[in-house]
Amino acid sequence: MVTGIAHEINNPLGGMQNCVRTLYLEGYDENVRRRYLPLLEKGLKRVDSVIRNLLDFAKEPQFNFSEHNLDEIILETLKLVEYKINENNLELKLDLNAGKLQYILDLNHLQQVFLNIIINAIQAMPLDGILSIKSEERLDSLFIIISDTGMGIPEENLSKIFDPFFTTKDVGIGTGLGLSVSYSIIKGLGGRIEVQSEVNKGTIFTIVIPKKIANEIKISN
């Protein structure tokens, strides 16, 4: 994790050092100033955003609970990525079985988690594949299972994917924060995220959160 953060900060720092050096040597030239000052500013913004993301990650999420239908949250989230699903020629298989009751849920945080995991699944299947989403209630828990038939995660990376800034994606595409933020949200909700994956076969993310039925909460109040 520390290596990832150091890397994210070192890259823009290297560029900025280069800018400062050039400005010292040739800063009298208006063209050089016009070229290098914006680059310096870009580097500063990048470091600023890395630090802000890191602080967000370190912060306990502030939850905001109200009554929601879990399956509707999943369907709403899917609307946000519908175009990506079509763009990558993906087949969508839904098996949603947790929509009969209203649960006490944090809409925004759950949507953020579903979105992160679904976008990863879509990115793992750039040409075609099957995106499956299943929801169900089992005893005291709600299960949301998001699977893809994409590239899979090599065994040696499985223990790192929840680390902040761990990414195998190109600069500008991956930040390596999606899963770490998702992990801290689900942990904060008292749940867990499990992952199973096989290279070139696909990946299954299972999100488990405690089940709180809206009516039961009301009665007990």
Positions touching ligand ADP (CB under 6 A) are 116, 120-121, 124, 148, 150-153, 161, 166-169, 174-180, 203
What number of other Cβ atoms are within 10 A of residue 58's Cβ? 9
> CB-wise, 135 or 180, nearer to ligand ADP?
180
> CB-wise, 12 or 150, nearer to ligand ADP?
150
Q: CB of residue 138 vs ligand ADP: minimum separation in angstroms?
A: 23
> CB-wise, 98 or 193, nearer to ligand ADP?
193
Q: CB of residue 150 vs ligand ADP: minimum separation in angstroms?
A: 5
Helix (H, G, I), strand (E, B) or coil at 19: helix
Q: CB of residue 99 vs ligand ADP: minimum separation in angstroms?
A: 24
Q: CB of residue 178 vs ligand ADP: minimum separation in angstroms?
A: 3
Please identify the residue of the shown chain whose CB is closest to the bound ligand ADP: 178
- What are the angstrom distances between the C-alpha of 113 and each of 76, 106, 205? 13, 11, 11
Helix (H, G, I), strand (E, B) or coil at 210: strand
> CB-wise, 109 or 211, nearer to ligand ADP?
109
DSSP, residue by residue, 162-192:
TSTT---SPBTTB-S-HHHHHHHHHHHTT-E
> CB-wise, 68 or 202, nearer to ligand ADP?
202
Kind of pairing, strands 129-138 and 90-96? parallel
> CB-wise, 22 or 88, nearer to ligand ADP?
88
Q: CB of residue 192 vs ligand ADP: minimum separation in angstroms?
A: 16
- What are the angstrom distances between the C-alpha of 137 and each of 32, 52, 100, 196, 203? 62, 36, 10, 20, 21
Q: CB of residue 56 vs ligand ADP: minimum separation in angstroms?
A: 13
DSSP, residue by residue, 78-134:
HHHHHHHHHHTTEEEEEEE---SS-EEE-HHHHHHHHHHHHHHHHHT-SS-EEEEEE
Max CA distance (Å), the chain: 75
